[in-house]
Structure 1
Amino acid sequence: MGKSSERVNSKYEPQATSSRSSYVLMGLGAVIVVALVVFGVLYMTRDKGGPVDDKVLAENAAFIVGDKAAPDTIDVFEDFQCPHCKDFEASSGAAIQQKVADGAIRVRFHMLNFLDSESDSGDFSSRGAGAVLCVARNGGDRDVFWKLHSALFAKSGDDPSNAEIATLAADAGATPEAQKCITDGALVDEARSMADQSSKQLANSNDGNVATPTVLSAGTRVDGITDGTGWLDDVIANPPSARKSPS
């Protein structure tokens, strides 16, 4: 599928999803049923292709942050149109950044897009994911990512244009090349393809379900991520080597 973002830019680092949900989108043939649940957004997919493939997750992360030598790597699945992802960013974003800075954890951010249709443009989730990928591929470091990531969630529901997203990226410190990439929508299609692959791996970890926000550690869903930052301390205190590998 081309070079992974990690191979293209070794300095960039971002990507994950939640255990409870607020909206359920069930695919029944051509019919989509939307139901209000409790915490996040859940898409029920029919495909569950087997165990989680870490290589696929690594290759399809929109942005990766943290030292490769960190004792644990987590996968974060979000959708820029998801209100509960916005809440997750507000509650856990700073703690994740600090743990990354401390070298305690490495984070792969997967920006999904199954809520595209909830935006007026019909593609805000994909365009936001494409913007993150533009930053990753064009000299963006993790500080630029953090700022743009937060700014896009702050604009969730406003459906900014590509030019407006490029301005957010400029304010975050993105390079002129990244800004042009965003304005042109140059990587939106690739971001969609990456989101699709990440969604399949998430479904493999969660009985065929894709939910945002969700966090995986060693391919296993982390519980309690909407209940403060205790989940992060638990993950760091119990690295994969101390846990039973998922079957």
Structure 2
Amino acid sequence: MGTTPSDRRERAEQMRQDRERGERRRRNLITGGIVGAVVFLVAVAAVAISTSADDDGPDAEASDFPTDAIVYDQESATGESSSDDPVDVVVYEDFQCPHCAAFDIETRDVVTEYVEDGTIRVAYEPLNYLDQAMGGATEYSLRAANAATCVYESGGGTAFHEFAALLFDNQLAEGSAGFTDRQLAAYAKQAGVDDLGSCLSKVPHQQQIEERTRTFATSRVGENGTPTVLVDGERLASNSAEALQSAIEDAA
């Protein structure tokens, strides 16, 4: 059963209060990401030079829910499915990206609430964009995206959501080597996945992640970098909890 307008207003107020508590950390993350933003712009310029101006790549907005994405929906979150027409939300993110961490922290409660009541389903598209932007100085984006995909395959959408939250909450400096495989495995265990086997060492999802990243980087979908969020096929104008909530309510 769907929620009433009154329920949503009460929930919105509660989420607003929660967001205020996380605002200081969000600002710190964004400040720390200024250097990363400069690196990103250089990478975008490089991509633009190497990509033909008349390339027939994807348009700015994607109308189809990604079939190869990590899906976090009501069934994976609650074991139930009461909605047959949820709003589609697509999130392109990089686990090395400070702005992605800030977005995840600020919007986490909004996403969880709307997923659990069946209002939305979310497709996460983890990228290794910053690895490429830094010329191979680090492979952490790839390793983290691969680990997140392994967690999803073993534990489903909720395990992925919890794992991603741990990576973003404890995010290391951009451009660093990032977490070791042992640390990634420990976070996976906290998210409910005890054994990733050889998934971390063999990086089986490398090709998928790199192809996804190339598609993102050479299309207008990726022109604003990460995070990029689509709600019902429309790009989110501002990566704030208020903007996300408003876009979801308008599309629901």
Normalized against structure 2, the TM-score is what?
0.67
Deviation at 1:76, TM superposition (A): 0.8
Runs of 4+ displaced beyond 3 Å = 28-32, 44-48, 50-55, 117-121, 197-200
Alignment correspondent of 1:214: 228
Q: Work out the CA distance in 2 between the residues paired with 1:211 and 1:148.
A: 22
Matching residue within 118, 125, 133 for 1:110: 125
Structure 1 residues 222 and 53 mapped into 2: Cα distance closer, same or farther (>3 Å)?
closer
Q: 1:30–1:216: structure 2 CA closer, same or farther, 3 Å change rule?
A: closer
Helix, strand or coil at the partner of 2:66: helix
Distance in 1 (CA, whole Å) between partners of 2:205 and 2:107 is: 28
Q: Please state if 1:184 is matched with 2:196.
A: no
Match of 1:130 in 2: 146
1:113 Cα deviation after fit = 1.4
The corresponding residue for 1:197 is 215
Aligned to 2:71: 64
1:170 is aligned to: 189
The CA distance in 2 between the partners of 1:146 and 1:123, in whole Å, is 22
Structure with the bigger percentage of helix: 2
Deviation at 1:48, TM superposition (A): 5.7
Gaps of 5+ in 2: 1-33, 75-82
> Structure 1's 92 and 48: CA in aligned 2 closer, same or farther, altered over 3 A?
farther
Tell me the matched-pair count: 199
1:232 and 2:251 correspond: no
The amino acid that maps onto 1:191 is I
Task: Determine which structure has the larger strand proportion and give its number.
Answer: 1
Cα distance in 2 for residues equivalent to 1:141 and 1:132? 10
CA positional deviation for 1:168: 1.3
Q: Is the CA contact (8 Å cut-off) linking 2:231 and 2:248 kept in structure 1?
A: no
The equivalent of 1:145 in structure 2 is 160
The Cα RMSD (Å) is: 3.1
Residues 222 and 27 of structure 1: is their aligned pair in 2 closer, same or farther, counting only changes over 3 Å?
same
Deviation at 1:149, TM superposition (A): 0.2
> Does the C-alpha gap of structure 1 residues 106 and 232 become closer, same or farther in structure 2, counting only changes over 3 Å?
same
Separation in 2, partners of 1:222, 1:143: 23
Are the aligned partners of 2:93 and 2:228 in contact in 1 as well (CA < 8 Å)? yes
Amino acid aligned to 1:81: Q
Aligned to 1:14: none
* Residues 152 and 159 in structure 2, CA contact (< 8 A), matched pair in contact too: no
Change (3 A) 1:137 1:156: same
Q: Tell me, what secondary structure is at the counterpart of 2:118?
A: coil
Distance in 1 between the 2:115 and 2:162 partners? 15
Residue 88 of structure 1: CA displacement? 0.8
Q: TM-score, normalised by structure 1?
A: 0.68
Partner of residue 91, structure 1:
106
Question: Deviation at 1:54?
Answer: 3.8
Letter of the 1:124 partner, please give it.
Y
Counterpart of 2:152 in structure 1: which amino acid? Answer: A
Matches within 5 A, 1:38-77: 47=55, 49-51=57-59, 52-55=61-64, 58-61=66-69, 63-67=70-74, 69-77=84-92
Provide the secondary structure at the position in 2 that maps to 1:197. Answer: helix
Structure 2 vs 1, CA of residues 142 and 29 (structure 1 numbering), >3 Å: closer, same or farther? closer
SS class of match (2:189): helix
